[in-house]
Amino acid sequence: MKVGIVGAGMVGSAAGFALIQRGIAKDIVFVDIDTARARAEAEDIAHAVPFAAPAIVRHGDYKDIAGAGVVILACGVSQKPGETRLALLERNAAVFRSVVGEVMAHCPDAILLVASNPVDIMGQVTQALSGLPPGRVIGSGTILDTARFRWLLGRHLGISPGSVHAYVLGEHGDSEVLAWSNARAGSVSLAHFAAQVGAALTSDVRARIDDGVRNAAYTIIEGKGATWYGIGGGLARICAAIAGDEQAVLSVSTVEAEVLGVADVALSLPRLVGRQGVTATLWPELDAAETEALAASAAILKGRIGEISI
> Which residues are identified as catalytic?
172
Burial 143-159 (b: 16+ CB within 10 A, else e): bbbbbbbbbbbbebbeb
Largest CA distance in the chain: 57
CB-based contacts of 144, cutoff 8 Å, min separation 6: 172, 227, 230, 231, 234
> How distant is the alpha carbon of residue 52 from its chain centre?
24
Residue 221's CB: how many other CB atoms inside 10 A? 17
- Where would I find the H helices in the chain? 10-21, 35-46, 89-106, 119-130, 143-157, 190-196, 203-214, 216-224, 229-243, 288-305
Angle among Cα 39, 43, 47 to the nearest 5 degrees reads: 175
Q: What sign does the CA torsion over 222, 96, 244, 64 have?
A: negative
User: HSE on the CB side for 236, CA within 13 Å?
Assistant: 23
Task: Write out the DSSP string of 85-103.
Answer: SGGGHHHHHHHHHHHHHHH
Burial 61-75 (b: 16+ CB within 10 A, else e): ebebbbebbbbbbbb
